[in-house]
Amino acid sequence: MDSGQCSRTGDHGDVVWAKLVPIDGFNPEVEIHSTDAVVCSRVGSSFTKEIWCEITRSSEQDMVAKIRNLSSTGIIVNGKVVAPGAEAIEIENMAEIISGPEREGYLHYTFQMTLSPNPNIKNIKIELDVDDAKCSICLNVWHDVVTVAPCLHNFCNGCFSEWLRRSSNGSRDKPQNVPCPQCRAIVHSVGKNHFLQNIEKAILNGFSSLKHSDEEIALLNCYASVKSTLVLGRKKNPRKRPFIALNDESDNSDIPCPQCGTEMNGFKCNTGMAHLQCQECGGLMPSRPTINVPQHCTGCSKVVCGAYWHAQGLDSNQYNLICQPETLKPISERTISRIPSSVHENNSVERAITERCIQHSGRTLQAVISDWIAKFDNKEMDRSTLSLNNADTITSNTHLCNSCYDKFVEFLLYWYRVSLPASLLPRDVAERENCWYGYLCRTQHHNSDHADKRNHVCRPTRGNS
């Protein structure tokens, strides 16, 4: 019998419909087969395998299973002890199972079912962080998901419809310059995303605890106004816009690129001029690689027009489809007043600790970041973990987009934390042991006790001699 699997006999109809995944990430996964529900694996520190439970599907139509204790001692399921000989109890996807009657000394598993328990249905396995399937307005998993363009962020239909309604208050026309609730880019259109609606249903089938309440669903359905693709935009005010159309007699008064209709800063687009489409606002600008103005973010190579139009003297308030200058700025010209929510690998415990450390130091976040930018310029830190393109050539004069700047700040705050002596850390923090897996630990994201008890602002040491 292979290590980490159920005991079973060969069967051509046999499929793996679920598995037990060890939380420590070190021990092998235990596969649950359709032909044999008995689990035989390691239960504690000993390498000896034992039969200790039986897991069967309740139905091929839902994501519910049953577990029965076959050991001579108890096992723990979702925090409750199941005694030997007790009746089988129901478990759902992502249930926590401990192979003994106590938390210490026994292996901790997470029960994971496939998206479709029916073995006759062929599936493609997709790994998806549940946080990536949440609406940034209500912070819950999408309900009747819609997607906005051009930024392609996703929201509940009801949440975005209410956002749209509030954005249009005070205007007799359609909403003017409706910003994306997540990134603030101007929304050009919004429509239902049927593919993501299937993903939404699959997630909720597997994680019933994430479902909206009946009252929330009724409210979201009441607000929902996106029935088909809606094209948004504002009515242009010609008095606010000093650009001349190529053909004033035509209906095409909205030229995508301002320099196609007017000479600006000594330059006007020629016929057939190559253009770049901004990946923030969706507008166009002429491709001019030889000028000393960046048109791409150095950290991700994304096209961003903010710096270019600022250099041309164009005010974003006078033209609909251009970005604010802040969307692409040198690191040294940026200011920061809050720690990005994604810092320390989205670990809210570590983020709160860093905020405490900065507050207790009596300095502002901006002052701390400025100090570490200087250290970065002096190459006083290892850049191998900086998740940006061209990491070795980035300096304080490098232009970055907003999302890449957040990543840069996350990198600096990691080095700020690891360089702090224990005497400057809060006592309860200084006494914590480092997690073996450091900032790469997966458990820190779903186990709040583990995130609180172990330090994750450190390098992985598991497997190192």
What tens digit of pLDDT does each residue of 92-116 get? Answer: 888 889 999 988 888 888 888 865 5
pLDDT digits (tens, 9 = 90+) for 183-238: 888 888 888 888 888 888 888 887 778 888 888 888 888 888 887 777 665 444 43
Cα–Cα nearest to 260, from 242, 237, 286: 286
* Structural Rg of the chain based on CA atoms: 28
* 161 & 207 share domain: yes
Query: What six digits make up the tokens of 288?
Result: 């001019």
* 241 & 222 share domain: no
123: in domain: no
What's residue 398's pLDDT? 95
Burial of 127 (0-12, 13-18, 19+ CB in 10 A): exposed
20: in domain: yes
Q: What is the largest CA-CA distance in the chain?
A: 88
* 361 & 450 share domain: yes
Residue that finishes a domain, picked among 231, 255, 272? 231
* 101 & 139 share domain: no
CB-CB neighbours of 118 under 10 Å: 14
What's residue 378's pLDDT? 95
* 227 & 251 share domain: no
What's residue 74's pLDDT? 92
Residue that finishes a domain, picked among 85, 113, 141? 113
Residue that finishes a domain, picked among 64, 82, 113? 113
Rounded to 5 degrees, φ, ψ at 11 are -155, 130
- Structural domain harbouring 318: 236-333
What is the distance between the alpha carbons of residues 365 and 454, in angstroms, rounded to a whole number? 25
What's residue 25's pLDDT? 60
Mean of per-residue pLDDT scores for the chain: 82
In this prediction the pTM is: 0.48
Query: What six digits make up the tokens of 203?
Result: 């997630």
Q: pLDDT averaged over consecutive 10-residue blocks of the chain (465 residues)?
A: 46 73 76 87 81 84 83 91 91 88 86 62 62 88 90 91 76 60 85 85 81 86 80 47 38 62 86 83 86 92 91 78 88 92 90 92 94 95 89 94 93 94 88 90 88 91 58
Number of domains in the chain: 4
